[in-house]
Amino acid sequence: MKNRLEFDTFMISLGLGTVVLQWGFDRQEKIGAERLAAERMEAASMAQVAPPVQEPLYKLTIPEGSPYQNLAWPHSSQPNPFEQVESIVRQNEGIANYAGKDTDMRILLEAHQGQPYYFILQQQAANEMLRHELFHHYYQDPTSADMLAGIEFYTQQLVEAGSADSKLIYMCLRALRDVWPREKIAEVARQTAERVLAPPALAGADTATTIGYHQVVYARVLQKMGAKAGP
């Protein structure tokens, strides 16, 4: 009888120990699952608030083999000229009238004219002034003589620099249709289209990006514009 009682007591203790141990396992598993769920929720929350990667607004045209790819400046002992357009932008931030900014850009271009990297500054200044200043005013008043003169000046900078920004050049030519002779518009349209649609250039075009897609599409529009507007 005594042995039986001891055996029963042992079995009850063993059962309680197993229950406690299992409860501990279950609790640890639950805590682990809750922690994992919390980590996943935090990761999902961060993913939702993380800003998407923005594609650049424009792409500069830099010939293959140029030492200035990706705006590299090989002369570390000299000030980097490719930072000066952005510096002018910062200095004129918050000023509604773009005249001062325009003057600064023209002084910058004149100071570097003739340098081997000049074509990059021409594109930087033209993109800044056309995209962020002049076309905003053009759409409000397309007859302003000063604004059209500004568009003409910076369009010429793009042309001289050999820009393949077909969308921007198309916008410029449309704005200048009553300013430039028909033959000049046709010639610029054809030159830009040929630059973009030449076999090596077209083969290397990244049409999966917005910039690359627009580059090809607007080049074909310019091709037609050159054919129609030609003599």
Provide the pLDDT for residue 33: 60
Provide the pLDDT for residue 20: 45
State the average pLDDT over residues 204-228.
85
Instruction: Provide the phi-psi class of 200: left if phi over 0, else alpha when psi is between -120 and 50, else beta.
Output: alpha
pLDDT above 90 (res 208): no
Predicted confidence band at 4 (pLDDT cuts at 50, 70, 90)? low
- Please indicate whether residue 2 or residue 175 has the higher confidence score (pLDDT): 175
Enter the pTM of the model: 0.74
| Domain at 69-229, CATH from 1.10.20, 3.40.50, 1.25.40, 1.20.120 | 1.25.40
Q: What is the pLDDT of residues 121-140, one digit of tens each?
A: 999 999 999 999 999 999 99
Provide the pLDDT for residue 213: 85
pLDDT above 60 (res 31): no
- Give the C-alpha separation, 80 to 137, whole Å: 31
- Please indicate whether residue 170 or residue 50 has the higher confidence score (pLDDT): 170
Predicted confidence band at 27 (pLDDT cuts at 50, 70, 90)? low
- Give the C-alpha separation, 70 to 8, whole Å: 83
Q: What is the pLDDT of residues 162-176, one digit of tens each?
A: 999 999 999 999 999
Predicted confidence band at 189 (pLDDT cuts at 50, 70, 90)? very high
Residue 161: Cβ-neighbour burial (10 angstroms; 0-12, 13-18, 19+) = buried
Give the percent of the chain with pLDDT over 90. Answer: 63
pLDDT above 70 (res 46): no
| CA-to-CA dists, residue 134 to 60, 127, 142, angstroms | 19, 10, 10
Contact 137, 147 (CB under 8 A): yes
